[in-house]
Amino acid sequence: MKSFIAVALFAGIIAMASAENYACHTNVTVGCTNNVQTPVICHARFGGIDNVESGIQSYINLNLHKSYQYLLMSAFYNSYQKNRPGFNKLYKSMSDRSFDDAIELIKHVTRRGGQVDFRAISQHPNSIAQSKLKLEEDELHSLGIALDIEKTLTADATHVHYQSTHGRPHDPHTAHFVEEKYLGRQADSVRQLSGYVNDLSKIMNQRDPSLGVYLFDQYLEKQ
Amino acid sequence: MRKQIQMEINASNIYLAMAAHFSRDVVNRPGFAEHFFKSAREEREHGSKLIEYLSMRGQLTESVTDLIQLIDVDVKVESGADALRQALELETKVTKSIRSLIKTCEKSPNWYHLVDWLTGEFLEEQLTGQRDLAGKLSTLSKMMASQGALGEFLFDKQL
């Protein structure tokens, strides 16, 4: 009798344990109806995607915004008055990189069963629309702007990583994705830009820096 | 020209929104998604080319900061055919805008080179793109008439 109760209890616990959120197989034929109101039962959402989805949305918005800022900076250095092909090339490549990043992030979110909302792409918590950044600056200033932009992007990527590791449940896939694709490369980018800024400021530290800036621009073009 | 640049960037964002929609697991049309990601990149390239042309002609020495604004887009896509239809409408709108830009630039003084460049490069690409979209839309619509989800599924695999 006692062993029967024990077995029954055990079976009950097993049954409760397996009746988790994986309800797809019980309701999968819901998709066979033509009624568009049927709720989505079978989806790709699992793990910690709920915690990171908004953070990634934010990071996508930031990447798109920065991509266009870099594009405008590159356009400014392409004008006949500035005429710095090296700077133009540097900023254009960063613009392309940010845009591709945004696309990669969209693919990541949708891979995990999330969605991207384009009705709010101009929004971001530290919205740069509030801090009106003037993009027509001289060479050294523009490198400084670029360095700050890179650090902003890295901070946002780190925030996504934080949300994916500290959320409950945590999301190791997103954490790994951010680490692999963004954090290492951003660190290199920040280091590279910081090197440029320091080099150029030392080069310009003389009475007539124009030759120095010209040669530095030539160097950038070769990179 | 500035308005045209902003329009190209808006079109790029609309295509990104469509591509994001088709990337969703519940929609699952990777062919459409890739097609629209490619379109988004192309539109951005157009914007970039227009900017380069302006630089070439001696503009963009100032007021560069506000040249491109990131504007929210609201895209509702019902099906693959609906997306192609919306894309075709968008391309037609952009083409009309380029045409009116050409008309403006032809008035005295006539910006011959710009008009020629817009006609030769931009209109060329727009019109061939429109023809391509229209062809795809018509093929898909014929399939959707009776085969519905199966038609869209197979069409997506061919995109």
Domain count, chain B: 1
Contact criterion met (CB < 8 Å) for B59 and A79: yes
Residue B139 Cα, gap to closest chain A Cα (Å):
23
Candidates 3.40.190.10, 3.40.50.720, 2.30.42.10, 1.20.1260.10; CATH matching A49-222: 1.20.1260.10
Residue B42 Cα, gap to closest chain A Cα (Å):
12
* Assembly ipTM: 0.93
What is the average per-residue pLDDT within A77-88? 94
pTM higher than the cut 0.95: no
User: Residue A147: is its pLDDT beyond 50?
Assistant: yes
Segments making up each domain of chain A, as ranges:
2-31, 49-222
Cα dist from A170 to B27, B60, B155, whole Å: 26, 47, 38
pLDDT of residue B114: 93
Q: Report pLDDT digits (tens) over A97-117.
A: 999 999 999 999 999 999 998
- Sign of the alpha-carbon torsion through A200, A205, A209, A212: negative
Cα dist from B48 to A67, A86, B88, B94, B102, whole Å: 12, 17, 22, 15, 18
Q: Report pLDDT digits (tens) over A26-63.
A: 777 766 665 555 566 778 888 889 989 999 999 999 99
User: Residue B150: is its pLDDT beyond 50?
Assistant: yes
- Give buried/exposed letters for A178-201 (b at 16+ CB in 10 A, else e): beeebbeebeebbeebeebbeebe
- The residue length of chain A stands at 223
Residues 6+ apart with CB under 8 A from A24: A41, A42
Enumerate chain B positions whose Cβ falls within 8 A of a Cβ in A: 9, 13-14, 16-17, 19-21, 23-26, 37, 40-41, 44, 47-48, 51-52, 54-55, 58-65, 67-75
What is the average per-residue pLDDT within A200-215? 93
Q: What is the CATH number of the domain that holds B63?
A: 1.20.1260.10
Task: Say how many CB pairs under 8 Å bridge A and B.
Answer: 102
User: Residue A1: is its pLDDT beyond 70?
Assistant: yes
- Domain, as residue range, for B6: 1-157
Which residue on chain A is closest to B13 by alpha carbon? A118
